[in-house]
Structure 1
């Protein structure tokens, strides 16, 4: 049986509701309900019931929950034991595109120089929700993501990094007001934005909603997940974008881009190293996290 179903049961019980479990697992409430239904059909027993507004377990559910903890722990231990059979340890990483573009090359180079004979790495770029679902399901060992403050990370081991500042950017030839800009002036431009699952897009939408405005008020909105393409289009004067300052700092320093700020607009998001609880006992995790912090000019969390 796929252990995702057992993990869903565990999360639903610990969270106390399907809706909270759905938020933690980055699923719909319907998907959580379907996974519990699958378990009930598989075992031929009703596992969960409601006592007023409280979600509880039946007697059969208590037995399955107890077994679920054991199965999940055994799977985790088996994966670690199998990795020890190889000459090299494996570390599967995932990060959001901004961190991957700006910081990951230096992180990987430094880490491999220090651990080149003992570790094989693989990595992917995904959205925050996809990254967290992957680490929860052990598709990834560790993730580094930019995310909005309201993101629930309570089920993970986390190490906060410095916040990521975002700015509106344009080419100098557009002659937009800077550094402060009026919203109406900004809306006359074409906007290059990320997809809705990206935290920069969510931050942008939240800020406009608080101002009583919508992104559709821009002259045009072009959605692109290619950060390089977006940078090149902005440099060519094709419009404006709301991007991580770390991603475009070299263009700002050289005068090829101009930064713009909206008064009262929240332009900061969190950046966090995340993995499943207990993994920080493993030396490879401590080494990698230390490298991430060193590359970003921060004190190492592990001595």
Structure 2
């Protein structure tokens, strides 16, 4: 039996919903249902009580989940031991999208130039909450996360990075020339924003709430899940966006985009490196952290960081 089925049970039990588990696992709700049904038929008992609005573990389900957690830990340990026979170390990391687009290519280039022959590298773009979950479940060794202050990273070893600056941006064609804009002026524009779960959208929502406003107060709102498409839309005059200056610093310097700050807004979010199952004094981890530091130092030399 594939341990993936056991993981599906753990996620479904944690979420209390097949649809939420499906979203978390990036599979269909039908696939979640089929996997749970397979386990129930194999073990000959009901594992999840589906009679209420929330799927709850039965007594048998609680026992299976407890054993499943131990099995998944053993599988992970086995995988780690087997890596030694391949002659290469494995390093897996995740990061939030804007950091990945802005910094990761340079960081990975530095890192792989010195380690390509000794390391297998895996990385994914995740939201802050997904990154924390991936680190907790040992899916990743390292997470590089842009986040608001309330994200709980207490279970990990953390290294702070320079804060990220976020501003409203617009194309000159919209006529919003002032670097300090009144919120009422900005609300008259179409907002190009990210999906829920992204820290830039969360920070914007918190800022608006502090001023007694909300996202729905904008003239209209378009949600994109692609940061590059967001930048292109703003460049074409299709609306404004609240985004990291690291993504568009060249456009800000050239004047093809204008930045706007709002009195009373918090325009920065945290950046943190979180270490999951690895130790900071591991030689490979230290090298990766040094590559991050070098990339930020070079950006400062370019004038790309505030």
Q: TM-score range by the shorter chain?
A: 0.7 to 0.9
Determine helix, strand or coil for the equivalent of 1:280. Answer: coil
Give how far 1:282 is off.
2.7
**Alpha carbon RMSD of aligned pairs, Å?**
3.6
Q: Deviations over 1:253-291 (max 9, x none)?
A: 000000000001011111111122553243222211221
Determine helix, strand or coil for the equivalent of 2:168. Answer: strand
Give how far 1:123 is off.
1.5
Residue 21 of structure 1 corresponds to: none
Residue 31 of structure 1 corresponds to: none
Determine helix, strand or coil for the equivalent of 1:165. Answer: strand
After the TM superposition, which residues 127-276 of structure 1 pair with which residues of structure 2 at under 5 Å, given as runs?
127-276=127-276
Give how far 1:188 is off.
0.6
Distance 1:297 1:70 in 2: 43
Q: Deviations over 1:26-68 (max 9, x none)?
A: 9xxxxxxxxxxxxxxx9xxxxxxxxxxxxxxxxxx9xx99x99
* Structure 1 residues 217 and 270: alpha-carbon distance in aligned structure 2, compared to 1, 3 A threshold: same
Distance 1:210 1:174 in 2: 26
- Which ranges in structure 2 are unaligned for 5 or more consecutive residues? 15-23, 25-42, 44-61, 299-306
- The yes-or-no answer on 1:96 pairing with 2:106 is no
State the 4+ residue runs in structure 1 displaced beyond 6 angstroms: 1-5, 67-73
* Structure 1 residues 134 and 229: alpha-carbon distance in aligned structure 2, compared to 1, 3 A threshold: same
Distance 2:262 2:101 in 1: 26
Q: Deviations over 1:1-23 (max 9, x none)?
A: 78879x99xxx9xxxxxxxxxxx
Distance 2:72 2:124 in 1: 24
Check whether the contact 1:194–1:225 (CA below 8 A) recurs between aligned residues.
Answer: yes
- Report how many residues are paired: 264
Q: Deviations over 1:83-135 (max 9, x none)?
A: 11112222222111101100000011100101121112121111111121112
Give how far 1:142 is off.
1.4
Residue 54 of structure 2 corresponds to: none
TM-score normalised per structure 2: 0.74
Q: Deviations over 1:61-83 (max 9, x none)?
A: 9xx99x99987875554333221
Give how far 1:223 is off.
0.7
Check whether the contact 1:157–1:277 (CA below 8 A) recurs between aligned residues.
Answer: no
- Which ranges in structure 1 are unaligned for 5 or more consecutive residues? 13-25, 27-41, 43-60, 299-303
Determine helix, strand or coil for the equivalent of 1:297. Answer: helix
